[in-house]
Structure formats: C-alpha cells, structure tokens
C-alpha cells in the first residue's frame, strides 16, 4: 500500500479544547468522532481523513494556512459560515488582495478565517474542474 491511497490525519493545536470542539463541530459542521487514547479531539473529514486537535499551550498555532477545505461554491460557503458566526480575514497586500473576503490565486479562489486558537483555515474553490 502506498501513501497515495492512505487516509490522512491533520493535527492542529488547541489551548481551549471545549471551544475548539464547539467551533469545529457546531460552527464548521464536522462530525465529532470522539477522543483518541491520548485525549485528542477527532473530527471526520472527507475521504476517510481525520482532523485531530491536540491540547497545547497558547501560542502554539502556525503562522500559515493549517488546513484548507475545497468547496464547490466559495461565496455560498462563506455566507453559511458567516451565518454561524465565522469572521473572515481580508487582505490588501502585494499579490494578495481580497474582495468580499475572496482572493483569486492562480487556478483557485480562496478565503481565510481563524479558529478560536488562531490557527489559519482556508476555503478554496478551483476555477476549473
């Protein structure tokens, strides 16, 4: 078996497991699978993959996009998440400018938001399928 057919687990830090469980489960709508033996919060992702949240001290988050969710309609996904209280980030940087929270980057549209710990999450929609 090669890794190209293996389900993957993305591991993100959280200093607030209860808030993170609410955010990922209720606000983002990911199915909660429970706790693993080490106490990580497990959430189901597409294709049999998993999101695992591991408790770490505050300030452990990365300063780059930690996970990106591919969506069919980025505008609709943004509206749905905003209705659940998600706040999207806007940028006005050389090579990275958002309009209505969306930036076109090469072959995709993208929008970013943060979880309660400040982990950077992304929605992306391919421009061609």
Q: What is the CATH number for 34? A: 3.10.180.10
The confidence band for 3, taking pLDDT boundaries of 50, 70 and 90, is confident
How far is 61 from 69, CA to CA, in rounded Å?
18
State the maximum Cα–Cα separation within the chain, in Å, rounded to a whole number.
Answer: 45
Tell me, yes or no, whether 2 lies in a domain.
Answer: no
Domains: count for the chain: 1
Kindly report the pTM of this predicted structure.
0.90
Which pLDDT does position 90 carry in this prediction? Answer: 96
φ/ψ of 29, rounded to 5, equals 80, 20
Lowest mean pLDDT among 1-15, 18-32, 44-58: 1-15
Tell me, yes or no, whether 51 lies in a domain.
Answer: yes
Tell me, yes or no, whether 44 lies in a domain.
Answer: yes
Average pLDDT along the chain: 93
Neighbours of 128 (CB within 10 A): 5
Average pLDDT of the segment spanning 51-67: 91
How far is 77 from 61, CA to CA, in rounded Å?
24
């Amino acid at each position: 078996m090669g890794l190209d057919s293996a389900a993957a687990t993305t591991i993100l830090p959280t200093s607030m497991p209860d808030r993170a469980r609410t955010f990922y489960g209720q606000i983002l709508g990911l199915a909660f699978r429970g706790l693993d033996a080490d106490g990580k919060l497990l959430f189901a992702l597409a294709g049999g993959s998993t999101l695992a949240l591991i408790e770490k001290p505050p300030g452990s988050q990365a300063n780059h996009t930690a996970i990106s969710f591919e969506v069919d309609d980025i505008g609709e996904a943004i509206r749905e998440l905003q209705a659940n209280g998600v706040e999207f980030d806007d940028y006005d940087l050389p090579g990275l400018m958002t309009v209505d929270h969306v930036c076109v980057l090469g072959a995709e549209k993208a929008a970013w938001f943060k979880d309660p710990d400040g982990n950077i999450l992304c929605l992306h929609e391919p421009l061609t399928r």
